[in-house]
Structures are given as structure tokens and as C-alpha cells.
Amino acid sequence: MEETPAHLTAKPSWLLTQVAVHAHRLASEGFGEVGARGYHYRILAALDEFGVASQAELGRRCNMDRSDVVAAINELAERDHVERTPDPDDRRRNRVTLTAAGRRQLRRMDRALDRVQDDLLEPLSAEDRQALTRLLTRLFTHHQGD
């Protein structure tokens, strides 16, 4: 295996990118084991936490492109994980609701994602994991408006 140049490994941006690629692969595999995708998790988690929402609201909350929201909601509706109904206040807008089957799927996805976290963060102690999460949250919050 070839060594990576120190110019790269000394840069947090490069390290974050490499770990993010690995984390994404692990999460995709974990979600795949329960017949789901990351977009499904985003939408189900938002509906579970915030309740009924329009597709546009879900796109904003989940940081997803409109076409990706529509495609994911279509997939979730086919599996009875969400119910889509016309908004009585605006017939052009759909309201999306989490179903009982969707809640069960979210729990399965949470368990899969918990296993991914353990795999990804295996070399870190519980204290280091909390510190990493705190620091990444600070960075994420700072750059959200960029």
C-alpha cells in the first residue's frame, strides 16, 4: 500500500473528506441491509420528529433537492411507510404523514445506523466519540449558512 503524502494527511479538510466517504459507504450498506436508502432515513426521521409536512418542507428540513424528495416519498409510499394526501388548504401541495409501518422501518434503520456508528468510531473511546460529535456539530452549525 502506498503512503499518502503528509501534505494531505495534515489537513483536516482532507481527513474529513476521507472519513465521510467511508461513513457514507458504511451507512449505505447498513441501510441496504434493511431495504432502505439514506434519503428514506432523512424523511422518516423528519416526519417522526416534526410531524406531518409538505414535500417542500421535507426538502428544506432534510437538505434534499425537490426531485429527490419526490422520488424518495414515492418509494416510501409504495412500501406504506408514509401516506401522501392533498393539503386541504392548498390542493397543489401534498401533506406527508409517517405511518406505523414507517415508524417500524425507522427503528430498523436506527438500529442499522447505530451499528454503522460503532464500526466507524470503533477506535475511539466513548469520551472521544462525544468530543468528536461535539466538535463536528460546532463546525456544521458554523457553516450551515454558507
Query: How confident is the model over 31-48, as pLDDT tens digits?
Result: 999 999 999 999 999 999
Query: Cα 135–20–122 angle (5° rounding)?
Result: 75
- The share of the chain scoring above pLDDT 90, in percent, equals 88
Confidence of residue 87 (pLDDT cuts 50, 70, 90): confident
Q: How many CA atoms lie within 13 A of 108 on its CB side?
A: 17
Q: Has residue 100 got a pLDDT over 90?
A: yes
**Cα–Cα dist 140/146, whole Å:** 10
The average pLDDT across 78-101 equals 93
The CATH number of 33-141 is which of 1.10.287.110, 3.40.50.12780, 1.10.10.10, 3.30.420.310?
1.10.10.10
pLDDT tens digits, one per residue of 128-144: 999 999 999 999 999 98
pLDDT tens digits, one per residue of 8-36: 999 999 999 999 999 999 999 999 999 99
| H helices, E strands: number in the chain | 7, 3
Task: Give the domain ranges of the chain.
Answer: 33-141
The average pLDDT across 101-125 equals 97
- Greater confidence, 145 or 37? 37
Q: What is the pTM of this model?
A: 0.88
Per-residue pLDDT, 54: 94
